[in-house]
Amino acid sequence: MAERAWIRGAQQGSVADLERLFREHWPRAYRAAHLVTGDAAAAEDIAQEAFLAAVRNLDRFDRSRPFGPWLHRIVVNRAIDWTRARKLRAEVELGDYLPAAPAPERNGSALARIAELPAEHRAVVVLRYILEYTPGEIAELLDLPRGTVNSRLRRGLDRMKEDAE
Amino acid sequence: MREAERRTWEVVKRAYEERSPAPRRARKPLVPALIAVAVILGAAIATPPGHAVFQKVREAVGVQQAEPALFSLPSSGRLLVVSADHGGVWLIHDNGLKRRIGSYTDAEWSPHGLYVIATTPHQLVALDVNDGIRWTLPRRASWPRWEGTRVDTRIAYLTPTGLRVVAGDGTGDHVLDRYAQDVPPAWDPLRLHTVAYFSGGAIVLRNADSGQVVWRAPISVLPSDLVWSSDGRYLAVTSSHKVIVLTQQGRVHRTVTTLGEGFVDAAFQPRTHRLALSIRTATGSEVRVVDVDHPGHARTLFAGPGTFGDFVWSPDGRWLLLAWPTADQWLFLHGSRVHAVGNIKEQFPRGDHLGPVLQLDQRWCCTR
What is the ipTM metric for this complex? 0.79
Number of other residues whose CB lies within 10 A of the CB of residue B17: 18
Q: Does one domain contain both A65 and A114?
A: no
The pLDDT, as a whole number, for residue B24 is 41
CATH number for the domain spanning A91: value is 1.10.1740.10
pTM over 0.80: no
B8 or B83: which carries more pLDDT confidence? B83
pLDDT (tens digit, 9 = 90+) per residue, A13-47? 888 989 999 999 999 899 888 888 887 777 887 88
The pLDDT, as a whole number, for residue A83 is 75
Q: Does one domain contain both A98 and A133?
A: no
Q: Does one domain contain both A35 and A92?
A: yes
Residue A34 CB partners (closer than 8 Å, separation 6+): A40, A43
Cβ separation of A98 and B251 shorter than 8 Å? yes
Q: Does one domain contain both A93 and A118?
A: no
Residue environment code for B163-174, b if the CB has 16+ CB neighbours within 10 A, otherwise e: bbbbbbeeeeee
The domain segmentation of chain B, as residue ranges, is 1-60, 61-365
The pLDDT, as a whole number, for residue B203 is 97
Average pLDDT across chain B, whole number: 85
Of all residues in chain A, the one with the smallest CA distance to B258 is A49
Least confident of A64-73, B261-270, B339-348: A64-73
Order across the sheet with B337-341: list the strands: B311-313, B320-324, B329-334, B337-341
Identity of the residue numbered B89: V
- Tell me which chain A residues have a C-beta less than 8 angstroms from the C-beta of B214: none
Cβ separation of B251 and A99 shorter than 8 Å? yes
| Percent over 90 (pLDDT), chain B | 57
Cβ separation of A56 and B15 shorter than 8 Å? yes
pLDDT (tens digit, 9 = 90+) per residue, B108-155? 999 999 999 999 999 999 999 888 899 999 999 999 999 999 889 999
Cross-strand bridge partners of residue B290:
B275, B298
Residue B41 has pLDDT above 80, yes or no: no
Residue A147 CB partners (closer than 8 Å, separation 6+): none
Task: Of B161, B157, B164, give the one whose Cα is nearest residue B143.
Answer: B157
- Residue B309 phi/psi, 5-degree rounding, is -100, -145
Cβ separation of A22 and B252 shorter than 8 Å? no
Cβ separation of B257 and A94 shorter than 8 Å? no
The pLDDT, as a whole number, for residue B32 is 39
Query: Got the DSSP string for A30-77?
Result: HHHHHHHH--HHHHHHHHHHHHHHHHHTGGG--TTS-HHHHHHHHHHH
Distances (CA, A) of B88 to B107, B178, B315, B335: 9, 29, 23, 32
The pLDDT, as a whole number, for residue B186 is 98
Q: Please give the tally of structural domains in chain A.
A: 2
A67-91 and A15-37 helices cross at what angle (nearest 10)?
A: 40
Q: Which of B250, B259, B296 sits opposite A44 (nearest CB)?
A: B296
Task: Of B203, B202, B197, give the one whose Cα is nearest residue B176.
Answer: B197
Measure B11 CA to nearest chain A CA, in Å: 8
Distances (CA, A) of B157 to B130, B137, B210, B279: 24, 12, 17, 27
The pLDDT, as a whole number, for residue A124 is 87
pLDDT (tens digit, 9 = 90+) per residue, B172-194? 999 999 999 989 999 999 999 99
Q: Could you tell me how many helices (H) and strands (E) chain A has, helices first?
A: 8, 0
Residue B242 has pLDDT above 60, yes or no: yes
Give just the sign of the alpha carbon dihedral A139, A143, A144, A146.
positive
The pLDDT, as a whole number, for residue B331 is 96
- CATH level 3 topology of B61-365: Methylamine Dehydrogenase; Chain H (2.130.10)
The pLDDT, as a whole number, for residue A165 is 58
Residues of B with CB under 8 A from a CB of A: 1, 4-5, 7-9, 11-13, 15-17, 19, 21-25, 215-218, 220, 246, 250-252, 254-259, 281-283, 295-296, 298
Q: Does one domain contain both A70 and A111?
A: no
CATH number for the domain spanning A148: value is 1.10.10.10
C-beta of residue A125 within 8 angstroms of C-beta of residue A142? no
Q: Which of A45, A51, A82 sits opposite B12 (nearest CB)?
A: A51
Q: What is the mean pLDDT of residues B38-46?
A: 38
Q: Does one domain contain both A109 and A95?
A: no
Give just the sign of the alpha carbon dihedral A144, B258, B144, B249.
negative
Q: Cα A143–A147–A148 angle (5° rounding)?
A: 55
Helix (H) or strand (E) holding B158: strand B153-159
Range of the domain at A28: 1-102
Q: Does one domain contain both A114 and A154?
A: yes
Measure B256 CA to nearest chain A CA, in Å: 8
Cβ separation of B257 and A30 shorter than 8 Å? no
Q: Does one domain contain both A70 and A118?
A: no
- HSE-CB of B362 using CA atoms within 13 angstroms: 27
Measure B68 CA to nearest chain A CA, in Å: 31
Cβ separation of B25 and A13 shorter than 8 Å? yes
The pLDDT, as a whole number, for residue B280 is 87
Task: Give the CA dihedral B362, B363, B366, B367, nearest 10 degrees.
Answer: -170
Q: Does one domain contain both A108 and A97?
A: no
Number of other residues whose CB lies within 10 A of the CB of residue B255: 20
Identify the band that residue B260 occupies on the pLDDT scale cut at 50, 70 and 90.
low
- How many residue pairs from chains A and B have C-beta atoms closer than 8 A? 105
- Tell me which chain A residues have a C-beta less than 8 angstroms from the C-beta of B12: 18, 22, 48, 51-52, 55
Q: Distance (Å, rounded) from C-alpha A152 to C-alpha B219?
A: 31
pLDDT (tens digit, 9 = 90+) per residue, B276-319? 999 988 788 999 999 998 876 778 899 998 889 999 999 999 99
